[in-house]
A = this chain, B = another copy of it.
């Protein structure tokens, strides 16, 4: 059986490399990035230019959209260009090319102010004057508490994905990704870092699940963190909808 044709935007970035190393043999991968990805067919273009990215999207079955200014505190001018206009361009080019699904790298930052502003997370993660209740109340995909322009742009991408599914039948699975770090270890992390931790293996598994999930999923927003003892993001929905079963745990 022919391998599924998957375009990864931002393949040369941190998460792109983490994923590609682990699922690169399973799919026919192509890179779209501002620099080439070693060892793969690469389109070098900027996602802020719709015309420039069309050739990369043409003929693809799935697009994994990671390209972005990845800084949670990036200024508006950059977020506007890369994360808003860029995400529109990737969605629109995908629609025009007849892509079946866009896997969109959203972020835990869409609800990033919750642990800083709302109980019981505030008491545990910020004030450090109370224990987390047992069981920890889980934040679901309906929650929304963006902590920067970056987070606002990720929420925008989710909205756009919802619209494109309803209006055009372009499936979109948005992954509210936790913390993926160059050094793949929770060592030295505080409680919030251990809550958000997403190991490299679990990150690759998450994206793999989103690529492979049945067409019936249509549109979904799910969290992607490892199976952390301190987590407060719902991953049961990701298990149910796309078969995400993380193997790692950052501990306490």
Q: Which residues of A contact B (CB under 8 A)?
A: 76, 80, 84-85, 88, 92, 113, 117, 142-149, 151-152, 155-156, 159-160, 162-163, 166-167
Contact = CB atoms under 8 A, between A and B. Distances in A.
Contact of A88 (B76, B144, B147): B76
Given A145-B162, A146-B163, A151-B163, 17 more contacts: A76-B88, A80-B85, A80-B88, A84-B84, A113-B163, A113-B166, A142-B142, A144-B162, A145-B166, A147-B166, A147-B167, A148-B163, A152-B156, A152-B159, A152-B163, A155-B155, A155-B159
A47 to B, nearest CB: 15
Nearest to A92: B76
Nearest to A150: B163
A155 B152 contact: no
A13 B249 CA distance: 55
Please give me the 4 A-B residue pairs with the lowest Cβ-Cβ distance, nearest first: A152-B159, A155-B159, A142-B142, A113-B166
A166 B117 contact: yes
Nearest to A113: B166
Contact of A162 (B76, B146, B167): B146
A75 to B, nearest CB: 11
Nearest to A79: B88
A155 B166 CA distance: 16
A198 to B, nearest CB: 23
A158 B156 CA distance: 10
A163 to B, nearest CB: 5
A88 B75 CA distance: 12
Contacts of A163: 113, 146-149, 151-152
Nearest to A157: B152
A160 B155 CA distance: 10
A234 B31 CA distance: 46
A88 B160 CA distance: 18
Contacts of A142: 142-144
**Residue picked from A85, A113, A152, A159, most chain B C-beta under 10 Å:** A159
Nearest to A151: B163
23 contacts: A76-B92, A80-B85, A80-B88, A84-B84, A113-B166, A117-B166, A142-B142, A142-B143, A142-B144, A145-B162, A146-B162, A146-B163, A147-B167, A148-B163, A149-B163, A151-B159, A151-B163, A152-B156, A152-B160, A152-B163, A155-B156, A155-B159, A156-B156
